[in-house]
Each structure stands twice: as C-alpha cells, then as structure tokens.
Chain A
C-alpha cells in the first residue's frame, strides 16, 4: 500500500476525489429549500389550521404566496422574502413566551423546522406548486444510460418487457429488491381475463392461449380479451360507482328511474374504445354539441344519476341544489382526483382552491333544466325507428316551410318536451297549491302565478294536465289576476284522471310577463276539492306552413309523436336564455344564504379555460380534456392501475392533493399519462394494454419472505397483484363456471333472486319482482340497483349504495361474505350446475371429476394434497347422503336424474370449491 501513497499519481487522484467530496457536500448545503418537500409539510402540519383556507387568524394565511406575503392585521409583514430577520413569522416561532409563540398553544417548531423556514425565506420564499396541479410533461423511462462516452449501451435487464418496467425496475434497484418471476400461464390467464372482462375467459380464448407456445401467445390473449364484448361490461361496472348509477331516484321514496340506457351507452363506449376525451365530453356536455345524437344525449345521464326527492313537503329548489352540488363534487372526485366538497363551505384548507371558485365551478352545472321534478325532466323520449323517421319527416317539413331554428325547436320539443315550464315553478297560490309539492292543482276560485314567461312570438300553449272534475274554466291573465285575458280554456275530466297533453291558441303578447291563472268550476262543491292538476306548460307558436299542402298530415303526425307513450331517459339540458338561472356563492355552504353572483369559471390555480371555449359545460369539458389539464389523465391512469394492481400509484384515488398519498412512482404516472394523451390518443384499451404487457403485471403473486418483510403492501410491485375480487366479479365467475351465466347484453335492469323482505318501503308500492329464466343469471352489472335497499350480496362484498360518487371501494373481509358464497341460493345453484357438469364429464371417477372441475376453475392441475382434502369431503358427504336419502333431493334442489348420493356429495364439494380463497381472489 505504502508505495502507492508515495506515488505522485495517486496523490493527484486522492486530491481530486477529496475535491469531489467537498464539492458534493458544498453543493448539497447550497441546494435551495424545496417548498413542496420541506416547507409545505410544515405549514400543513403546524400552521394552516389557523392560517389557511378556513381561518385566517390575524389576517394571515399560508395557502397562496400572495396571501402569505401580504398585509396582516398587525401591519407587520409575516414573511419578507430574503429577510428572515424582518419576518414576523420567524420572530413569533422563535419566542419562548407560550402566549406569543407560534404555533399558538401548541408544541413549538423543532430547530430543524425553524432552520428550514429561515433558509427558505432567505432564499426568497419561493412558492412551489403541488405536483398534481402541474401539467403532465414528457418523461423518458429510466433506461440504463450509455457509458464510456456513449460507446457502450448496457444490456437491458432480462426481466424488463416494456417501458413500464423500467420505472419499476429502477426503484426496485434502489430498494435492493428483486422482482418476481412471471406467473405461470394458468394463473396469468385467469388474472388477465378477470381484469379485462371481469370474468373467466371463454373456452376458445383460454384454449388458444394454453396451447400456444409462441412468444406472442400472451399478447394475442390480451388482444382477444380486449375485443370481447364483455370488456365493456366489466369497465362500465367500474364507472357506475363514479357515475353513482342506480335504478332508483334515492331519498325516502326512492322510486324507480329508467336510466339503464346510460349503462348500455357506457358498455358500448368502452367496447368501441371511444377516446377518453370524447367519452368525457359526451357525458359532461353531449347535449351542447352541435346536433347532438340520441347517444350523446343519453351520455349526459352521467350527471342525471343524482338523487331526486319525491317526498311530499320537500323544497324542490333545495334538492335541485343538492343535485347540482353533487355534480360538482362527483366531477372533481371521480374525474379529477380532487376532494372539492370542503370548498363548498370555505376555501380549501390545504389545496389552492378558494371558496368563490367552488361556486364559479358550480355555475357550469347550475343553469340546467332539471328541477327535482317527479318525472325527472328533462327526459329524452325514445321513439321506435318508424316514429323516428316520421319525426325526421315533420322536422324537415318545418325546415322547408319555416326557419332552421324553428325546425330545431320542433325536433327538440318532440324529443324532450323541452323547454317547458314545470308547474312546480308556480307561486302566489290562492285556492291552489303544489300537490305533494310536485304539481299545481286548482280548487274552485283558484289563483296562481307563473312568473317570467317569454311570450315573444308565441301564439300557442301546449300543456300537460289531468282533470278530476268536469266543467272547469281555466283563464290565463296577463300581469295580474284580473289582467288581460289571453285565453279561456275548458278543462274537463280526463280519462281515468290520467295526464293528457292539450294545446290551445293564446292572444299574442310582446316580451316577458307574469301570467296569472284563475280557475272556476261550479261542479266543485267542497272548498277543499281539487278540479285539475298541471305538469308543465310550453309556450310556442303554431306549426309553420299552414297553407302548404300536407299541413294537416304533418300536424297530425306531430301530435301523435308528441303524445306517444314512449320510454324515456333523464338527460342534461341547459336553460334557454329566457329561463336563465343565475349562480351565487352560498355563504358557508348554506344554499339559503346567497352571496355575490358568480359566472362559470375554473380555479385559477389550474389552467385557464381554452380560448374560444364557451362558458358552459361544453367549455368545461374541453378544459377538462385539454392535454394541459393536469388531473384528468393522471386520475384515469391511476384508476386503471388500481383496478389491475389492487392499489393506485397514488393510493388515494379520490385525492391527489397535498393531503392525499404521494405517488409511489411519480415518473411512471406521468409517463403513462403522457403516453395516454399523446401517443395513444386517449385510447383506454391501449393504455390498459401497456400496463398488461409489462413484466410488472405478469409477475407471480407469491409473497416471498423478503417481500413480506420489506414491502408487505407491494408498493414497489416486486410481485404480481393478489386481491379479493369485486362483488360483480365474484358473482359472474361463479355463474359462468357453473354454466348458468346468461351472456345476454343490454336492456332494462334485472331482478335476480333475493330473500324476501329486503324491500319494505312504507310509501312505495314497488316490489322486487324476480326476473324470469335467463334474467336470473345475467351479469351483475345488469342487476337492479335500489339505493335504499341495494342487492344484499353485492353490498356484503363492499359494493356501494351509489348515493354519491365513490372513487374507491374499500375491500373488507367479513364472515357475512362467507355466508353469501356458502348459502345464498344463487351460489348454491351455481354449485349444483358446476357439480352436474363435473359429473357428466367423468362419470364414476371422483378424482377426475374434482380435478376436471378444478381445472375448469383455475386452468391448472390440482395438487394431490388439495385433491385429497376434497375427496375426503366428498366421502363424508356421500356417507351422510347414503344414510339419509331424503336429503339428497334437498341438496340437489329438484327430483331429477341427479338425485343420488354421489351427485349430492359432489354438490357439497362444488360449493366448497366455489368458496376457495384462490377462487374469490385474483392470484
């Protein structure tokens, strides 16, 4: 050693090394303070409760830089950039006197914290934006860098299969963890099929993969599954939690709502791989697109899944407002991974959103036609193909003989009965009221007002009403109860007191007026008896082209279409100008205390609305799907990752803010988000494929001892995902393996078996009527979802009631779950079907029956140990049924060819097999 040290050359080297070390230390010391990493956590933890979005004690807030540096009540600036010694904040946190020291009446800051803040102010008190609110930037996967001046490119590690893996590999290297080997083919087949289609693969797909020894076998499998129609069903089911899809309206009455066409739209949109940008635009603002198609209208039912309160005596405006606020919260939480509902009452305590901004954002949703009406207006009316042709004919006729706008108006009215004035908007009642706070009713000598009606160019009134007593005189007055009479209309009893649509001409008037209705009916003898009730009023003009040939037939078709009883779907629609609803800040979140008026806008801390974007939901949708929007792509990427890997790269799917979890692999999240928006053109299938083709996804899921120690929650992804299946997947796969599953797609929701007494709503005559035949065994996504009494087995497996948007289901593990798969008759029937199949395939060979069955479930050969256990169970059961023959029929369920101890015992075995952990878990 010594001669080396004496050698001059080594001295030089040592010197150089020493300098490098010094430089390293020096530069580390001079590294500026990182606001997000060092300063913000101190603020959030120690200061912001009193000096933040909610409270601004002494006029000081640390939420935004401008506030932090601004004037405080004492007049002493809290933070003077560059001058810690002049900053009041530094003085106060350094004091000894607990009466003056900050944080007030709490533990003082640590020396380190004080030193961080001091250096930070000295360096200019630079503010930093939270990662989630900065646009996604292009990133490169951390591939090994060429060394020796680019002459040698290190070999790609053999484990790596695609770019995703570089990110995972890189972190595993840092953490000194080895990734896992690929899972065996059988496990992978089941995993990827459950992930892509939500159920086991169809036989041909499975066999093709298992017998294909080529390198492309897996990719072919992924492609085949991605193009299966069941793909759409699986991902729609996920989206329905975000959309809070349900088949009922919620609240006490919780009556039926026909909105399943939206579910079908979702399935189709996923299957067609509609770009995620289009997918969102259609759902948020399909109605505002030029000449929206029926499909685009149906897509807007996304935000009509809010609850409607049908209970008598409830304030419609209150529940309309509740629905609008819910749209705001669901849009942020479900689509932008941001908890926004706290901003309803005050500025966000941690993240850069102010109180006003909540209401500016709300204004995008507030000017819509829906008003908590019983019928859930506005509704899209679904005509038969024949009628749709007739409708086109009417519309083009009007277009020919009137204006284009008039043609549009007619088309919209026939399709939606809009924009009509709901009778629940009436007021100033005398001998009249809103029956059940829903519909305007008249008693004798009634008066009521309909305010602010645009009568310009209108000469006709179309209205929907029900007459209870004949001989009523309804008179429409202008401006006052005894004002100019626009028309006098005789209202008689309608058939079975049902709703009827009628039209009448009215005196033309100019401009906007309040209308006063009066009603006299000599047949009404008792003062409290009502003569009629109204649903809505539509002021319009008579159809164009009166003198043209064919007018009568057009008029007739028009009327037939208008009054046709057709199925409907609730949709979004904005108010026309004359029905505009202004938006206000609600003081402390209380809808009754309206503050200043606000116009639609987006939070200033994110990107501005795109230039030329209209200030309505369409503009909002364009803003959301702009590639500059930092949240949309990241939120979806994270959600898909969570669906495949069991937890998100950001664990808190619902909160990317500073209080949420930090991403475990921020670069990977951004790389995927960038790919998704730019390379893949928002294709969800491509994004999924990128993840599915990775070595990371394909790993074995066994929990190695070192992993249990170092990474028990698999945050580094050194093994494959292993999580319990969702409520939907558990049902679907058991039905499928037993041959019961109906593969029929689409249509009204179905009511499979559920025990009696789940529905006992006091004021609602509706009932759970078991669906017939194959509808008993449709995929879970088609199950009727009643908010106040959801399908019990789904709820037991952590399904949600879908009253509001649920960004993430929390998985639990309870004995009630075991009871479902052991005893629910759906699962018993599945066990029966499964047992019959096992038996048929290998009569008289028990071992073969069980191992075939196991193979059908798991695609692999059962281990001798497991087989032995199940054979033992069979024998025990067999002996029992042999002794008590009457029980075989009970377990078999019916008297048929299977009614023998052997089959009965096999049903018991099948029931056990469908309860195995490996079956209800994705391995």
Chain B
C-alpha cells in the first residue's frame, strides 16, 4: 500500500469514525470532560437535507445526567408541566363566549359539522352554553370563570394561549403529540429531550420526574414520558405517592440505612479491588453510580415527603399528607424543582367531560376537578414567586385538546349528563414564569369558541417555545436515529414570540 493510499484510508477512516462516534456512546466517555466536544461535529452529520450544524449531543453514559449548557442562555432552568389528561373544557374556564349561551339548546348549524370528524358526536347535536359564569380579573382584565376563584387572583402572572389547535381527536395520540411531537409511539418525550440536552442540577434525584393523579395513567400510558430512541436513562422516572416513590428505592425490609451503607461500601470496595486488577474505567463509573443510588435513596423519599412542610403551605396548596392527590403532586413539583430537578411532568386523570356519567358531567364532576386543581395550581405560582423560583421555572398548564361548544350526543342520542365531545380546533393553554410575559393573552377564537381565528398555535409551537425558554433552538436540537437527525418538533413548529417577555 502506498503512502498516499494509506493516508487516504486513514482520512476516510477518521472522517467516518468521527461521524460514527457522534452517535455512539463510547466516544462520549472520552469526551465527557469537554461536555461540548461533540458540538463541532454536528456539521458533519447533516442528514435528510436539514442543516444540523450546532446540534447538541452530549451523551456521556458515565454521567448521562451531568448538567450541561444549552445552545444559548435560556430564561428557564426547569419546567413544571401540569397536564390535565382527558382535556378540560376551555369554555367553562378561560374562553368566555356569551354568544354561545344564546344558542344554548339549539341544533348545531350544519355548517359547523361539514367536513368535521368527532370522536363521539353523531348526527346533529345541540349547542351547549357555558356552564359557568365569567368575570374579568387583574390588570390584564382576563376572563376567568367562577370555577377558578383562586386562580383568578393571579391572572397577571400568566400568558394565555387561547387558540391552540391540534390534529388528533383521541386522547392517546393527542397526548403523545403534545409531549413527543408525534401521535405515534416511539418518539422521546419533551422531558426526555430536555434532560438529554441539559442534564440535571441534582445528581441525587432523577432529572425528569413524572407524577400522576386521578387514579389512572394518561391514556397514552408510559410512552408519554418515554425516552423513545434517546438512551433510556432520559425517560421520565415515575415518582409514586403510594408504594416506593421510585421503583426499588426502598431497601428490603430488615436492611436499615446503616447496613445498606455498609453493603454499598463493601460492593464498592470489592469493585475497587476489581479496578486495580482490570483498570477498566467503567468500573469507576459503576462505583459512582452505586454511591449515587445510595444518596438517591435518601433524597428521593426526603423530597417526596410533604409532611414536614409548614402548615401555611398545606393551607395554601390544600394538601393532605399521605393521600394521593393532585394537590400533593403540585406541591411535590415545587419541592422537586427547588432541589434542581429539571423537568417535572404531572398528569391528572379525569377531565374527559363527555357527560356519560356524573363524574364526567360538565356541571358535576368537572366542577370537582376544578376544585381539586384551582387552589394548588394558584399556590404553585405564588409559592414559586415568593421563593424567587418563578423567574426560572416555566409552568405550563393544559390538556391534549379542547371540548366542543356542542353538547355530546353519543351515537346520535343525548348523553345522560351534560358534556362536551373532544375538540381539536380551539382550546386554551396557559404558561407562566420562565421568561413568559405576565398578564398576557394570545390568540382568539370565534364567537362560540369553535375555531381559532387569530394567534393560532399548535403543539409544535408550544414545544418550540418551551425549548426556546430553556435555551434551545428547536430546529437545531436533534438526535441521530434511523439514518436521520430527529427533532422534537419534527419538521414543524414556530416560536410563539408574542408571549415571550
């Protein structure tokens, strides 16, 4: 082989190796100290015609959750996402439509039904007026219904997106779309992307925590906090209010903390012996993972315990220790963020107000759900604010879609209770903190709240905005999979500039 050939081969090899290493774990072990060692390689990767220069990929399997810098300085450091699974009605909470009241009980005009698909409405349904009264609050004069008396006091802290639309009218795909940018299983969730990009501030706690309430998981199951094609370490860790707060975090019965400490010390001491023989750096990282596991065993139950919170906090949130509740989860979310957890995802089940039974009636069960969420979500904003955390904590509240201005008539017949069907064309989501405008409202729906008429945004736009607040350009934040760079927002998404402070 000539020198030239050799050199060529080396060059090619190097180029290919660098490319390959970009998305293989072993490279990052080497690069871990640099953190952004891979940044410059981004431009080599390009794929599917998208310019991926500047994409961030800093997966270090030995320290996968080590804190990392975003692409540019972000305004938010952490996110609390309150997802009301089942999709709450915007028409009874935020989107005040007096004209809809006038149409109450009338047949829905044919023009609204043409070309539309509904999950359950068949034939010609009746219009259903707002089932709550509204007033304006705060300096921003935001319309809020009587169902959220606490929340009405903090409207000047939040930005409303009143013209959110989606294209999925079933729960599971709509939830997946909202959280993973795709209605199908298999994509990483928002929280996974964020912890992949930013790591975690607290190595003794998971970086991405999921809390569920309402007695059931969201319809999309655990995939909605899955890591998709990202390394599994970035999937949401479900902290549970019953049983172990994190799976297997509790020592077996009969093994107290000191004994666990002794046993982990012994494991690590033997592993050090092993290291002195094998010199494999992986052994050292195993040792540090065991140490971290031990610390996590203390810190997770600690942070998950709300008993020690002062009375005024319990009063403020409406929490009752030792019970599974949305209020408890919201308080936990604050505690977790305070401790440096990057992304706290809440799901509260039971907002699917079809009117098929009393719990799902818009004038019965729905009111209960509002009561459950009103006080704690208000407390969350106030509490974050008083602790100086609201500035860099982004709070997002919403469902996976909205509800129809029509009363649901399942299979063409009147439902036993008042309810509304799934609706994709208009719903409300609000955001607060983390560099979002205060007391602002973006987007508008028509006079009956059926369609967005201005300031229309999609789940992708919301994702792009959340990433932006954390310091990521959603178009450049990618991960190489199946031969192409994937991003959370796929080929969609536009930053909602209007609500950024």
A801 adjacent to B226 (CB under 8 Å)? yes
Q: How far is the CA of A27 from the CA of B244 in the complex (A)?
A: 72
Q: How far is the CA of A911 from the CA of B253 in the complex (A)?
A: 13
B286 adjacent to A54 (CB under 8 Å)? no
A24 adjacent to B220 (CB under 8 Å)? no
B266 adjacent to A869 (CB under 8 Å)? yes
A654 adjacent to B482 (CB under 8 Å)? yes
B223 adjacent to A880 (CB under 8 Å)? no
**With an 8 A cutoff between CB atoms, is B30 at the interface?**
yes
**With an 8 A cutoff between CB atoms, is B216 at the interface?**
yes
Q: How far is the CA of A704 from the CA of B222 in the complex (A)?
A: 43
Q: Which residues of B contact A761 (CB under 8 A)?
A: 216-217, 221
Q: Which residue of B lies closest to A33 (CB)?
A: B8
A801 adjacent to B185 (CB under 8 Å)? yes
- Give min CB distance, B290 to chain A, whole Å: 5
Q: Which residues of B contact A340 (CB under 8 A)?
A: 483
Question: Which parts of A815-838 form the interface with B (CB within 8 Å)?
Answer: 815-820, 822-825, 828
**With an 8 A cutoff between CB atoms, is B498 at the interface?**
no
A250 adjacent to B266 (CB under 8 Å)? no
Q: Which of A659, A705, A724 contacts B483 (CB 8 A)?
A: A659
Q: How far is the CA of A690 from the CA of B254 in the complex (A)?
A: 50
A702 adjacent to B293 (CB under 8 Å)? no
Q: Choose, from A283-291, A496-504, A871-879, the stretch at the interface.
A: A871-879
Q: Which residue of A lies closest to B204 (CB)?
A: A815
- Give min CB distance, B49 to chain A, whole Å: 3
Main secondary structure of the interface of A (DSSP, over half): loop
A873 adjacent to B247 (CB under 8 Å)? no
B349 adjacent to A762 (CB under 8 Å)? yes
Q: Choose, from A74-82, A406-414, A554-562, A785-793, the stretch at the interface.
A: A785-793
Q: Which of A52, A788, A799 contacts B222 (CB 8 A)?
A: A788
A49 adjacent to B51 (CB under 8 Å)? yes
| Given A342-B47, A824-B248, A916-B267: A814 and B64 interface contact (C-beta under 8 Å) | yes
Q: Choose, from A157-165, A474-482, A886-894, the stretch at the interface.
A: A886-894
**With an 8 A cutoff between CB atoms, is B149 at the interface?**
no
Q: Which residues of B contact A799 (CB under 8 A)?
A: 232
A788 adjacent to B221 (CB under 8 Å)? yes
Q: Which residues of B contact A10 (CB under 8 A)?
A: none
- Give min CB distance, B51 to chain A, whole Å: 7
**With an 8 A cutoff between CB atoms, is A614 at the interface?**
no
**With an 8 A cutoff between CB atoms, is B413 at the interface?**
yes
Interface centre among A38, A822, A828 (most CB of B within 10 A): A822
A866 adjacent to B263 (CB under 8 Å)? no
B4 adjacent to A876 (CB under 8 Å)? no
Q: Which residues of B contact A252 (CB under 8 A)?
A: 170-173, 219-221
Q: How far is the CA of A796 from the CA of B231 in the complex (A)?
A: 11
Q: Which residue of A lies closest to B349 (CB)?
A: A762
Q: How far is the CA of A342 from the CA of B482 in the complex (A)?
A: 8
B273 adjacent to A869 (CB under 8 Å)? yes
Q: How far is the CA of A818 from the CA of B281 in the complex (A)?
A: 17
Q: How far is the CA of A722 from the CA of B222 in the complex (A)?
A: 33
A254 adjacent to B221 (CB under 8 Å)? yes
B46 adjacent to A819 (CB under 8 Å)? no
**With an 8 A cutoff between CB atoms, is A358 at the interface?**
no
- Give min CB distance, B359 to chain A, whole Å: 13
Q: Which of A24, A52, A887 contacts B256 (CB 8 A)?
A: A887
| Given A45-B44, A811-B61, A819-B293: A916 and B274 interface contact (C-beta under 8 Å) | yes
**With an 8 A cutoff between CB atoms, is B186 at the interface?**
yes
A55 adjacent to B49 (CB under 8 Å)? yes
**With an 8 A cutoff between CB atoms, is A322 at the interface?**
yes
A655 adjacent to B17 (CB under 8 Å)? no
Question: Which parts of B148-178 form the interface with A (CB within 8 Å)?
Answer: 169-173
B217 adjacent to A760 (CB under 8 Å)? yes
Q: How far is the CA of A350 from the CA of B44 in the complex (A)?
A: 13
Q: Choose, from A206-214, A307-315, A507-515, A769-777, the stretch at the interface.
A: A307-315
Interface centre among B24, B278, B296 (most CB of A within 10 A): B278
Q: Which residues of A contact B221 (CB under 8 A)?
A: 252, 254, 761, 788-789
B11 adjacent to A37 (CB under 8 Å)? yes
| Given A787-B185, A789-B221: A313 and B248 interface contact (C-beta under 8 Å) | no
Q: Which residues of B contact A123 (CB under 8 A)?
A: none
B216 adjacent to A762 (CB under 8 Å)? yes
**With an 8 A cutoff between CB atoms, is B25 at the interface?**
yes
**With an 8 A cutoff between CB atoms, is A11 at the interface?**
no
**With an 8 A cutoff between CB atoms, is A176 at the interface?**
no
- Give min CB distance, A103 to chain B, whole Å: 11
Q: How far is the CA of A814 from the CA of B23 in the complex (A)?
A: 19
Q: Which residues of B contact A911 (CB under 8 A)?
A: 252, 255, 263
Q: Choose, from B75-83, B235-243, B310-318, the stretch at the interface.
A: B235-243
B185 adjacent to A811 (CB under 8 Å)? no
Q: Which residues of B contact A917 (CB under 8 A)?
A: 270-271, 274, 282-283, 286-287
Q: How far is the CA of A527 from the CA of B169 in the complex (A)?
A: 26
Binary interface encoding of chain A residues 690-711 relative to chain B, with 1 for a CB under 8 A from any of its CBs, else 0: 0000000000011111001000
B231 adjacent to A810 (CB under 8 Å)? yes
A251 adjacent to B172 (CB under 8 Å)? yes
Q: Which residue of B lies closest to A107 (CB)?
A: B43
B289 adjacent to A818 (CB under 8 Å)? yes
- Give min CB distance, A42 to chain B, whole Å: 10
**With an 8 A cutoff between CB atoms, is A841 at the interface?**
no
Q: Which residues of A contact B216 (CB under 8 A)?
A: 760-762
- Give min CB distance, A887 to chain B, whole Å: 4
**With an 8 A cutoff between CB atoms, is A346 at the interface?**
yes
B248 adjacent to A820 (CB under 8 Å)? yes
Q: How far is the CA of A873 from the CA of B258 in the complex (A)?
A: 11
B12 adjacent to A37 (CB under 8 Å)? yes
**With an 8 A cutoff between CB atoms, is A813 at the interface?**
yes
**With an 8 A cutoff between CB atoms, is A683 at the interface?**
no
Q: Which residue of A lies closest to B249 (CB)?
A: A819
**With an 8 A cutoff between CB atoms, is B73 at the interface?**
no
- Give min CB distance, B422 to chain A, whole Å: 9
Q: Which residue of A lies closest to B25 (CB)?
A: A810
Q: Which residues of B contact A662 (CB under 8 A)?
A: 12-13, 16-17, 20
- Give min CB distance, A586 to chain B, whole Å: 15
B61 adjacent to A757 (CB under 8 Å)? no
**With an 8 A cutoff between CB atoms, is B269 at the interface?**
yes
Q: Which residues of A contact B269 (CB under 8 A)?
A: 869
Q: How far is the CA of A397 from the CA of B254 in the complex (A)?
A: 70
Q: Which of A792, A823, A872, A873 contacts B249 (CB 8 A)?
A: A823
Q: Which of A37, A812, A822, A865 contacts B233 (CB 8 A)?
A: A812
Question: Which parts of A623-672 form the interface with B (CB within 8 Å)?
Answer: 647, 651-652, 654-655, 657, 659-662
| Given A340-B483, A659-B47, A876-B262: A823 and B252 interface contact (C-beta under 8 Å) | yes
Q: Which of A41, A311, A803, A828 contacts B12 (CB 8 A)?
A: A41
Q: Which residues of A contact B371 (CB under 8 A)?
A: none
B297 adjacent to A37 (CB under 8 Å)? no
Binary interface encoding of chain B residues 269-308 relative to chain A, with 1 for a CB under 8 A from any of its CBs, else 0: 1110110011111110111011011001100000000000
B278 adjacent to A923 (CB under 8 Å)? yes
**With an 8 A cutoff between CB atoms, is A127 at the interface?**
no
Question: Which parts of A267-324 form the interface with B (CB within 8 Å)?
Answer: 307, 311-314, 322
Q: Which residues of A contact B497 (CB under 8 A)?
A: none
**With an 8 A cutoff between CB atoms, is A571 at the interface?**
no
| Given A804-B186, A812-B232: A28 and B25 interface contact (C-beta under 8 Å) | no
Additional A-B contact list (9), CB under 8 Å, known A661-B24, A917-B282: A27-B2, A41-B11, A50-B49, A313-B170, A349-B46, A792-B247, A880-B256, A890-B252, A908-B263
Closest 7 CB pairs of A and B: A339-B483, A890-B254, A661-B20, A54-B49, A252-B172, A891-B254, A788-B221
Query: Measuring CB to CB, which residues of chain B are less than 8 angstroms from any residue of chain A?
Result: 2-5, 8-9, 11-13, 15-17, 19-21, 23-26, 29-30, 44-51, 61-62, 64, 117, 119, 169-173, 184-186, 206, 212, 216-223, 226, 231-233, 235, 237, 240, 242-244, 246-256, 258-260, 262-267, 269-271, 273-274, 277-283, 285-287, 289-290, 292-293, 296-297, 349, 411-413, 482-484
A-B contact pairs, 8 of them (CB 8 A): A312-B119, A755-B244, A762-B218, A788-B222, A819-B297, A820-B247, A863-B273, A911-B252
